[in-house]
């Protein structure tokens, strides 16, 4: 890896991916992009930025992570905003890649909410001919459109690309506010409750919903492995294991040293009952397995979040 562009590099996953690449490829020139550097919704600004760059520089890898997504029921109330922003970002970045850096391999980061809402592990073959669940429909379809766009650019112009589909990612630099993704939200609640001596922590749902989780450093490792070695258009990049939210809450409770109670609130919106990836393809294609076991990932994240509060 020599010259690398990372969109969404100021975000949770992008920030870790940027430092991972800088660490593993110390000679690489990495350009981390956030929306302050260039608003990818703005076609003129995007093309101007790429145009200026391409005269002096040859890019060999583009990582595309930029997207508008928020946890909880935000997507239910903002499907048009999400559709407009994410479609614009994706259409602009694909065209900029083809026009200015057609030799670069393009790797995009997709989400497991693209799959339908049944509880069995999802193989990549399920991406087509199925529909994502209703409350994430617009967001998930923009991810599917990105995948279709990459395929189209590969077919028409012979460009190189791949995509990875991630489950819920957690780790340092995540958002720990109450309305964040479940892992960040729970770590935030338990750590703060332990510090303030709260009596109880509220967990949304009945604790039986199951989710798959990937530690953010492992996500960075797998995204880079896919960019370097994947010959297929898309790979599920996960652990292939799901955990009940109740078990996760108890693990976090112990790691945070919280002595109070867990109270389940079944009136809150929690999404689908169970979601997990079939990781057969990534094992075969890349011989890749997530290095971090969930207890260690949670302990590291709790320690990191605690340190930020100190």
Ligand X SMILES: NC(=O)c1ccc[n+]([C@@H]2O[C@H](COP(=O)([O-])OP(=O)(O)OC[C@H]3O[C@@H](n4cnc5c(N)ncnc54)[C@H](OP(=O)(O)O)[C@@H]3O)[C@@H](O)[C@H]2O)c1
The residue ranges that bind ligand X (CB under 6 A) are 7-14, 34-36, 39-41, 65-69, 89, 109, 111, 166, 168-169, 181
Rank residues 166 and 249 by Cβ distance to ligand X and give the closer one. 166
Is residue 211 within 8 Å of residue 242, measured between CB atoms? yes
Classify burial at 56, counting beta carbons within 10 Å of its beta carbon; exposed 0-12, middle 13-18, buried 19 or more. Answer: exposed
- HSE-up of 218 (CA within 13 Å, CB side)? 22
Q: What is the largest CA-CA distance in the chain?
A: 61
Q: Which is nearer to ligand X, 41 or 62 (by Cβ)? A: 41
Q: For residues 182 and 286, which CB has a smaller minimum distance to ligand X in the complex?
A: 182
State the nearest-atom distance from the C-beta of 108 to ligand X, in Å.
8
Minimum Å gap between C-beta 156 and ligand X is 24
> Taking the complex as a whole, how short is the minimal distance between the CB of residue 181 and ligand X, in angstroms?
5
| 294 HSE (CA, 13 A, CB side) | 21
Please say which residue, 111 or 253, places its beta carbon nearer to ligand X: 111
Q: State the minimum distance, in angstroms, from the CB of residue 8 to ligand X.
A: 3
Q: In the complex, what is the shortest distance from the CB of residue 134 to ligand X, in angstroms, rounded to a whole number?
A: 18
DSSP symbols for 99-130 = HH-TTSEEEEEEEGGGS-S-SSPBPGGGGSS-
Between 38 and 191, name the residue whose CB sits nearer to ligand X.
38
Nearer to ligand X, 171 or 194 (CB): 171
Q: How far is the CB of 197 from ligand X (least distance, A)?
A: 31
The dihedrals phi and psi of 23, each to the nearest 5 degrees, come to -75, -45
**Based on CB atoms, which residue is closest to ligand X, 39 or 258?**
39
Residue number with the smallest Cβ distance to ligand X: 11
The nearest distance, CB 81 to ligand X, in angstroms, is 11
CB of 67 to ligand X, least distance (A): 3
Strand 29-33, strand 234-236: pairing: unpaired
CA angle 26, 28, 34 (to 5 degrees): 110
Angle between helices 79-100 and 137-157 (to 10 degrees): 20
Q: Which is nearer to ligand X, 107 or 111 (CB)?
A: 111
Q: Tell me how long the chain is.
A: 310
> Which string of DSSP letters, residue by residue, matches 142-192?
HHHHHHHHHHHHHHHH---EEEEEE-EEESTT---STTS-HHHHHHHHHHH
């Amino acid at each position: 890896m020599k010259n690398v562009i990372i969109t969404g590099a100021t975000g949770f996953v992008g920030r870790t991916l940027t430092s991972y690449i800088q660490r593993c490829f110390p000679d690489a020139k990495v350009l981390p992009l956030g929306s302050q550097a260039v608003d990818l919704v703005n076609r003129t600004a995007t093309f101007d930025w790429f145009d200026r760059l391409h005269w002096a520089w040859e890019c060999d890898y583009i990582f595309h992570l930029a997207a508008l997504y928020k946890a909880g029921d935000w997507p239910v109330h903002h499907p048009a905003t999400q559709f407009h922003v994410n479609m614009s970002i994706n259409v602009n970045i694909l065209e900029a890649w083809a026009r200015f850096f057609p030799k670069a391999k393009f790797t995009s980061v997709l989400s497991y909410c693209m799959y339908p809402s049944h509880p069995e592990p999802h193989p990549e073959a399920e991406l087509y001919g199925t529909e994502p669940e209703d409350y994430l429909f617009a967001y998930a379809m923009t991810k599917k459109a990105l995948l279709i766009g990459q395929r189209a650019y590969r077919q028409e112009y012979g460009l190189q690309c791949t995509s990875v589909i991630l489950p819920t990612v957690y780790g340092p630099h995540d958002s720990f506010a109450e309305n964040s993704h479940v892992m960040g939200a729970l770590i935030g609640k338990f750590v703060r409750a332990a510090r303030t001596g709260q009596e109880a922590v509220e967990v949304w749902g009945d604790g039986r919903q199951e989710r798959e989780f990937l530690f953010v450093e492992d996500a960075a490792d797998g995204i880079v492995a896919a960019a370097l070695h994947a010959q297929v258009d898309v790979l599920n990049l996960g652990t292939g294991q799901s955990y009940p939210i109740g078990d996760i809450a108890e693990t976090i409770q112990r790691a945070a040293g919280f002595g109070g109670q867990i109270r389940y609130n079944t009136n809150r919106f929690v999404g689908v009952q169970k979601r997990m990836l079939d990781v057969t393809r990534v094992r075969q294609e890349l011989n890749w397995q997530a290095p971090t076991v969930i207890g260690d990932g949670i302990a590291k994240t709790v320690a990191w979040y605690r340190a930020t509060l100190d």
